[in-house]
Each structure stands twice: as C-alpha cells, then as structure tokens.
Chain A
C-alpha cells in the first residue's frame, strides 16, 4: 500500500531532551516536507526537501533540524525541545518537483513539558 508513515504517533517528553520523529514514504517521491498544526493557526511548513541531500527552510524552522540521506526517509530532529514545540506534526511527500499533490502521513502528537 502506498503510504507515508510516521513514528512515533504520540510522544510526551521533557524540555531539553533530544528527540527524532521519523518519516518514511514507499512511493519513490522526491519531494518531502514537514508541517506543524496548531489550533487557530492551521498548518505551517517547517522544512522541505526537493531531493536527497537537498533541504530548505519553510516558514517556521526555528528549533528544528532535518536530514535527507535517503530518498524514502526524512526525519525531523528537535535538538532541545521546548514547550512551544508542543504540536501535531505531519510529514508529506509529493511525486512532483514541488508541493503539488502531496500525500500526508497520519501525524505525530508531541507534548513537551
């Protein structure tokens, strides 16, 4: 089944403890991206990647890192999480050379205390 998977789906952590949210797609898509969703603010892009080893900042990149060493994987790294990064995170991928026709993963709900 063609899909985008994220792990973990739920995570509660403490301020300052490094964490990684994994994202994987099995559709051979080149374009991948990360969004966060907050009540009243909608979805906002954190980072995106046009291809392997090519990443770029979105609208809200502060406090996040990403890497794209393989085509199928695009992990989101929080080196020192803070409470304002409590949010619902979505990974997405696209078969196009940009944010067109994106497929979204099921989401990761992160709580930082």
Chain B
C-alpha cells in the first residue's frame, strides 16, 4: 500500500517568514495530493490540493509543488501569520479507496 512520509514533525518560524513542509510518497499510482490544516479541538480542514497532471498550484499565501519523478510534494506558506499556527497533514490517494496521511507537522509561528 501507499506510504507517506512527512517532515519536519515540528517547525518553528518567525512571523512574516516562510514555512516549507515536505512529503514523500511510495506508490507511483497516486494522483491526488491534498494538504489539511488541523487546529486544536477541530477536524482537519482542506487548504489546498494538487493533482498529478499539475506541477504547482497557488492560492494567496499558500502554494503546493509536486515532483512526480521524485515522488515528493511540498507545502509553502509565505508571510506567515499567528493564525497559521496549527498541525498540517499531507496525504496521497490513487483511487477511490482513501487517503493515506503523513504523520503531521506542528507549525509554530513565533511573534
């Protein structure tokens, strides 16, 4: 089955700086790569996703890049703000069955 590795497990950045979280996946058949943000006491919320026929996607301060050859994808957050503090999960899926999640990154924005 699919295996998704996520790094780092904890990331601390100064407010206003950029944050980058990286994931690798094992199944070359995977073609859908979402990123979820989870705030304390809440369910995960989809913030951006990318399909395998696209190399990069951007939505305001958030961007995701995908390298299918190397089987890795990354989340980039620019101009970080206090409200960006949360746990971020990457995931991969190759079909209808389900998502395989990474173990999460705790992002801390230092004032």
Minimum Cβ distance to chain A for residue B98 (Å)? 4
Given contacts A90-B44, A104-B43, contact A42 B89 (CB under 8 A): yes
**In the assembled complex, which residues on chain A have CB atoms less than 8 Å from the CB atom of B41?**
107
B63 at the interface (CB under 8 A from A): no
**In the assembled complex, which residues on chain A have CB atoms less than 8 Å from the CB atom of B44?**
43, 90, 104
Chain B interface, >50% SS class: loop
Q: Which residue of B lies closest to A50 (CB)?
A: B96
Given contacts A59-B1, A100-B93, contact A44 B43 (CB under 8 A): no
**In the assembled complex, which residues on chain B have CB atoms less than 8 Å from the CB atom of A98?**
32, 93, 95-97
A13 at the interface (CB under 8 A from B): no
Chain A residue total in the interface (Cβ 8 A): 27
Interface residues in B26-67 by Cβ distance below 8 A to A read 32, 34, 36, 41-46, 49
**In the assembled complex, which residues on chain A have CB atoms less than 8 Å from the CB atom of B45?**
104
Asked if B43 and A43 sit within 8 Å, CB to CB, the answer is no
Show 10 residue pairs from A and B whose CB-CB distance is below 8 angstroms, ordered by the A residue: A40-B103, A59-B1, A98-B95, A98-B97, A99-B32, A99-B97, A100-B93, A106-B42, A107-B41, A107-B43
Can you name 18 extra interface pairs (CB under 8 A) apart from A50-B96, A58-B98?
A: A31-B96, A41-B103, A43-B44, A43-B89, A43-B99, A48-B97, A90-B44, A98-B32, A99-B96, A99-B97, A99-B98, A100-B34, A101-B46, A104-B43, A104-B44, A105-B43, A107-B41, A107-B43
